[in-house]
Amino acid sequence: MHKISLTLEAIRKIYEQPFIDLILQAQNTLRAHFTPNTIQLSTLLNIKMGGCAENCGYCSQSVHHSSNIEPYKLLTKAEILAAAQKAKQNGATRFCLGAAWRGPTHNQIDKLSEIIPEIKKLGLETCSTLGLLKPGQAEKLKEAGLDYYNHNLNSSENHYKSIVSTHSFNDRLDTINQVTEADIKLCCGGILGMGENEEDRLSMLLSLSKISPPPNSIPINMLIPIPGTPLEKQPKIEVLEFVKLIATTRILFPSAYVRLSAGRDTLTRTEEALCYLAGANSIHFGSEYLLTEYTPLPSAESDLAFLHTLGIQPESKQLSE
């Protein structure tokens, strides 16, 4: 698979078409590439909380902000595997390890490389989101069997510098390049509602389209304005703008999972259903919160009951045990 050849004008033309036409095109695109009425379930575990040296304006785990979370060190192998087992029992097919680091040390990569094969033995796909990678670390994770690496662009290149100053947009692209060159599948998306404008959102999609190969999973997050962070007073994005961006993402990346991630708990169930109609076919689910207490998730039982009401079945794909 090669990178998509697009222009900002072409993306805008898709995004600005009549709403019903946009939704219809997105749903037809979804059905051409995935089994209708199915959803992929991913569980994300925060394996190391807080103390991050980066100053990302949306994040409660930065040492630069005063969000009053309780930091903790890297969880033990037993704790991580217990959480993975619970995720599988809930119906998840992918288990993601998240850590609040600028980037992992080689020793930390070695520790995770011992845990990843054990998670895969449970029949789960594996993903990690560990920050900026150093040369050779992506290859080490690939050797351990890692299936996906998450590293979001978060916004447009132009808007990114107003969100964080301790690293650059190009730093993020460098880690993404290391991941794709190591032949690890890429999970890469963005956060809406950080003060960006419409052109920034469409430019982010353009940047995603230039990645080769394009992302296999695209999380679309809605900003949760967290007290003590620079973005704590940002107003909530309009839901229809959020839905239109999901639909446009689905059309541009027909083979990718488009995932509802942070902010899903702020949607009504009707609004969430509209996101599925627009082409979202994956959610983070099955844990008390996404990464911190500021980003809660509905319970697994509540989510499964709601999906059943919609007639949407969880994907049953699991790795051979």
Give the tokens for residue 238: 């309009």
Among candidate residues 172, 187, 188, 275, the one labeled active-site is 187
* The one catalytic residue among 94, 96, 172, 188: 96
Dist CA 128 CA 221 (whole Å):
17
CB 57 within 8 A of CB 233: no
The verdict on whether 275 is a catalytic residue reads: no
188 is catalytic: no
Specify the DSSP element, H or E, that contains 149: strand 148-150
Cis ω before 296 (30° cut-off from 0): no
Among 59, 172, 188, 275, the active-site one is: 59
Cβ neighbours of residue 173 closer than 8 Å, sequence gap 6 or more: 153
Query: What ranges in 55-197 are assigned the alpha helix state H?
Result: 77-90, 106-121, 137-144, 157-160, 169-181
Q: Which two tokens stand for residue 221?
A: 């997050």
Q: Which of 172, 201, 259, 264 is catalytic?
A: 259
Name residue 128's amino acid: S
The residue to which tokens 């036409």 are assigned = 21
* Residue 62, helix vs strand vs coil: strand
127 is catalytic: yes
Q: What is the DSSP string of 276-287?
A: HHTT--EEE-SS
Longest CA–CA span in the chain (Å) reads: 52
Tell me the catalytic residues: 52, 56, 59, 96, 127, 187, 259
